[in-house]
Amino acid sequence: MDNNTIAAIATPIGTGGIGIIRISGENALKIASRVFISKNKSDVLSYKTHTLHFGAVVNSQGKTIDQALLSYMKAPHSYTGEDVVELSCHGGITCVKQVLEQVLAQGASLAGRGEFTKRAFLNGKMDLSQAEAVIDIINSKNEKALSSAVNQLEGTLSHKINSLRDKLVMVMAYIEAETDFPEDDISGLSEDQVIKNLEEVLEGLSNLLHTAHKGRLIREGISTAIVGRPNVGKSSLLNALLGETRAIVTDIPGTTRDIIEEYLNLGNITLRLIDTAGIRNTEDTVEQIGVNLALSRAEAAQLVLFVGDLSLIPSSEDKEILEKIKDKPHIMVLNKSDKELGDAFENYSALSPCKKVKISAKNLLGVEELTKEIEELFHLGEIQEDDSLILTNLRHIESITSAKASVSRALEEIKAGMPADMLYIDIFDALSSLGEVVGMTVSEEVVDKVFEKFCVGK
C-alpha cells in the first residue's frame, strides 16, 4: 500500500456519460501503467504532461474492464500539485467501481473526503479560503452563491485579507521597533500613520462583516415557514411557488400534517420553503403533533409567510398566530383573492402593520409580487453583480469578527497614549485571526474539519 498516492471516483456514483477515476501522488503514472494499455501500445511511463491517450483499462489477468481516456498532469501543474492521472471511462457504476478496484489493487490508497483539495492546499496551490470555495461551488444553490464562491476561488477574499494583514504587519514592525529601539525611528511609521493603518483595517473588516448577513442568506437560503389556519391555501401557495404539485391540496381542513420542505430559486435568492400543518386547536393527536411542529418551525424560520383567507373574516386563531410571529420578519399573504369578501382585506390589514400581498394560489395570481416583497424585505435586490466580495462562510465570519475586536482594542490603546508594546498582543491576535481565514495560522484540526465537509473524489 502506498499512502502517498491516492485514488477515488471523482464523478457522481450513478449512470452517466463518463465516470472519472482520479489518481494523485508520486506513483500515479506508475500505477496507471499497470492498469492501462494504450491502443498504440505506447509506454505509459513515457507520457508527457498534459497529454491524452486512448486505450483499455485491464485487470490483473489482462482482461479489459473498459475502454478509457487517460489524461496525465505532471506535478506541480495539476489540481493537487502532485502527479495526477485521470481515467475517463464509461459512466456506469459497475465499470467505474471495477476500474477503481484495479487502481487500488495496484498500490493506490482510497482517498478520504476532500483529500485531493486538501493536498492542493498543503502543496500551496490554493489557500484555505480558496479550498473552501471549491466545496461552495459544488454545493451552490443559486447563481449568486455560485458567483460569490467562484470569486472566492479566484482569490478575491484572500487578496483582501492579505492586504489588511500587510497593514497590520507594518504596525507590528512599528511596535517591535518602538519596544527594542525606543530612541530611534527605524520602523518608518509615525504614531499617526499607525492609527491611520489601524483605522483602515478596522473599516475594511467592518465592510467585510457587513456583507456576512446577506452572504449567509445567499449561501444557505432563507428558511421560510408557511403558516396559517387550516384550509387557507398554504400547500396551494407552496405548489404555486414551486410551479409543481408537491403538497397535497384538498378542501378538508387539516390536510397537511407533516412538514414539507423544498428549495426554491428566485433569481439571486434561494428559499427553503416549509409547508406546515394548519394551526388550530384540535383533539386529533396526529394533527396536534403537526400543529406543534408548525409552531416550532415558524419560531426557527428566518421568514414567515402568514397565509390568510380573503373569502373569510379573520378569526381569533389568525390573531393568535400573528401574535406568535410578530417579532419575526413576516409577510401577510392573503389568498383566495378570486373569492374576496367585501372588507376582508381591511380586516386582515388591521391585524398587523406588516407587508401584505393579495394572491390567488389556485389561479397563480400575485406570486410574482410576493417574490418581489421577499427580495425587498431582505434587501437582496441591492446585491449587485459586481459585489464580488461577500462573506458566506461561518468560519471566516468568526475569525474576522475576532480580528476586528483585537484591532478595535489596539486602536483604543494607542489613542489613549499607551506605550507601543501594550499593543503587541492585540496586533498579534488580529494577525493570527486573519491568518486563519486563508489557512496561514490554522491548526491541523481546523484543516481536517474543513475537508470533512467535502465529498470523496474532490
Ligand X SMILES: Nc1nc2c(ncn2[C@@H]2O[C@H](COP(=O)(O)OP(=O)(O)OP(=O)(O)O)[C@@H](O)[C@H]2O)c(=O)[nH]1
Which of 52-60, 80-88, 104-112, 332-340 is the region at the interface with ligand X (rule: CB under 6 A)? Answer: 332-340
φ, ψ of residue 23 in degrees (nearest 5): -125, 135
Q: Are 403 and 430 in contact (CB under 8 A)?
A: yes
Which of residues 24, 156, 211, 256 is near ligand X by CB under 6 A? 256
The nearest distance, CB 358 to ligand X, in angstroms, is 10
CB nearer to ligand X: give 211 or 235: 235
Site string for ligand X, 200-239 (x = CB under 6 A): ----------------------------x-xxxxxxx---
Alpha carbon distance 137, 152 (integer Å) = 10
338 binds, among ligand X, Mg ion, none (CB under 5 to 8 A by kind): ligand X
Partner that binds at residue 382, options ligand X, Mg ion, none, CB closer than 5 to 8 Å by kind = none
Binding of ligand X by 339 (CB under 6 A) = yes
- In 334-415, which residue ranges form alpha helices assigned H by DSSP? 344-349, 367-377, 394-415
User: CB-based contacts of 187: which residues, under 8 Å, 6+ apart?
Assistant: 170, 173, 174, 176, 177, 178
Q: Which residues contact 417 (CB under 8 A, 6 or more apart)?
A: none
Per CB under 5 A, does 393 bind Mg ion?
Answer: no
Question: Residue 312 CB, nearest distance to Mg ion (Å)?
Answer: 16
Site for Mg ion in 222-281 (CB under 5 A): 234-235, 255-256
Among 28, 87, 361, 427, binds ligand X (CB under 6 A): 361
How many residues contact ligand X, by CB under 6 A? Answer: 25
Reduced 3-state DSSP string for 160-207:
HHHHHHHHHHHHHHHHHHHHHCCCCCCCCCCHHHHHHHHHHHHHHHHH
Neighbours of 387 (CB within 10 A): 15
Quick one: what does residue 204 bind among ligand X, Mg ion, none, with the CB cut-off 5 to 8 Å set by partner type?
none
HEC string of 5-28 equals: EEEEECCCCCCEEEEEEEEECCCH
Burial of 4 (0-12, 13-18, 19+ CB in 10 A): middle
Nearer to ligand X, 236 or 393 (CB): 236
Q: Print the binding letters for residues 22-61 with Mg ion: x by CB under 5 A, - otherwise.
A: ----------------------------------------
Binding site for Mg ion (CB under 5 A): 234-235, 255-256
